[in-house]
Amino acid sequence: MAEETIFSKIIRKEIPADIVYQDDLVTAFRDINPRAPSHILIIPNKVIPTVNDVTEADELTMGRLFTVAQKLAKEEGIAEDGYRLLVNCNTYGGQEVYHIHMHLVGGKPLGPLLVG
Ligand code: AMP
């Protein structure tokens, strides 16, 4: 059983967060330290620590991250101009919270992808 993080408390609404979407599989909320006008985290309700821990059984949930990202991008008004979806993995990937999360970032030109 994977260890819970602060994100599980957000899912269960035990601590405050600006939740913008929730269903049976995923939850989305605004990043507490936004790096762009729109910065939302989309996470599975189930604890999956990193991309390395994703299994075939999680494929529906992982797909849901994308369809919810698409829906939220439209709602944020950033779909046409474009946005970035980002998932960090482990130390070198810059992951801070070990509950897999997709960053939806947009609302300004983001420049080239940073790889180092
Ligand atoms: P990462 O570096 O990919 O693990 O990203 C973790 C993200 O979680 C960072 O962008 C943080 O600002 C964000 N974060 C951490 N704690 C919270 C919180 N309580 N509510 C919303 N976002 C958070």
Structure tokens at 99: 């509950």
Which strands, in side-by-side order, build the sheet including 38-44?
A: 19-22, 26-30, 38-44, 102-106, 83-86
Asked if the model's pLDDT at residue 9 lies above 70, the reply is yes
Give the pLDDT confidence score for residue 103 in this predicted structure.
Answer: 98
- 49: domain CATH number is 3.30.428.10
**76 in a domain, yes or no?**
yes
**27 in a domain, yes or no?**
yes
Q: Residue 103 catalytic?
A: no
Ligand 1 pocket residue status of 31, Cβ below 6 Å? yes
Structure tokens at 45: 């309700």
Closest by CA to 76, choosing from 41, 38, 21, 31, is: 38
pLDDT digits (tens, 9 = 90+) for 65-106: 999 999 999 999 999 999 999 999 999 999 999 999 999 999
Ligand 1 pocket residue status of 91, Cβ below 6 Å? no
As a whole number of angstroms, the distance between CA 8 and CA 18 comes to 14
Structural domain tally of the chain? 1
Return the half-sphere exposure (C-beta side, CA atoms, 13 A cut-off) of residue 116: 0
Asked if the model's pLDDT at residue 114 lies above 90, the reply is no
Residue 29 sits in which domain range?
Answer: 6-106
To the question of pTM greater than 0.85 for the whole model, the response is: yes
Give the pLDDT confidence score for residue 116 in this predicted structure.
Answer: 63
**59 in a domain, yes or no?**
yes
